[in-house]
Amino acid sequence: MRESKLWFWHILSAVVILVFLGIHMGIMHLDAILWALGIGSGDPVRSADVFRRSRQLFFMVTYVILLGSALFHGLYGFRSMLWELSLPRAVEKAVGGACALAGFALFIYGSYVAVAVFRMGR
């Protein structure tokens, strides 16, 4: 794929991450403020809360979208940083391949977890 297309996806994934990670960070790390405003549900890492969210279709879908977007955004950024070191062409290809492979493997594992927990107890 051409670099310009990858760069476009890098920026698009940043916008997706901004929305979904914004929601995630708000729920997980601004919980006391949300709770004070009457929006939060208490302790966000409490087992009951975690599994209640994980079994909702909205959260399962957003976890998978966030997972894919964040992996692409992060690993493409990481690959770009390494490529800037003027590495030999063969090493650049190996770095690109390793990043793509790691991304696919992590995406499959993370998606499996999201879907398995969503289906748990159904």
Minimum distance, C-beta of residue 34 to other proteins, in the bound complex (Å):
9
Contact between residue 24 and residue 70 where contact means Cβ atoms under 8 Å apart = no
Binding-residue total with other proteins (CB under 8 A)? 43
Distance CA 53, CA 41 (A): 11
30 membership: H or E segment, kind and range: none
Q: Which residue shows structure tokens 């190996």?
A: 94
Q: Does 30 bind other proteins (CB under 8 A)?
A: yes
H or E segment to which residue 24 belongs: helix 3-29
Q: Closest separation between CB of residue 97 and other proteins, Å?
A: 17
* Residue that is written with structure tokens 């995630």 in the block: 24
Q: Which residues make up the interface to other proteins (CB under 8 A)?
A: 3, 11, 14-15, 18, 21-22, 25, 29-33, 35-36, 40, 42-43, 45, 47-48, 50-51, 54, 67, 70-71, 74-75, 77-78, 81, 84-86, 106, 109-110, 112-113, 116-117, 120
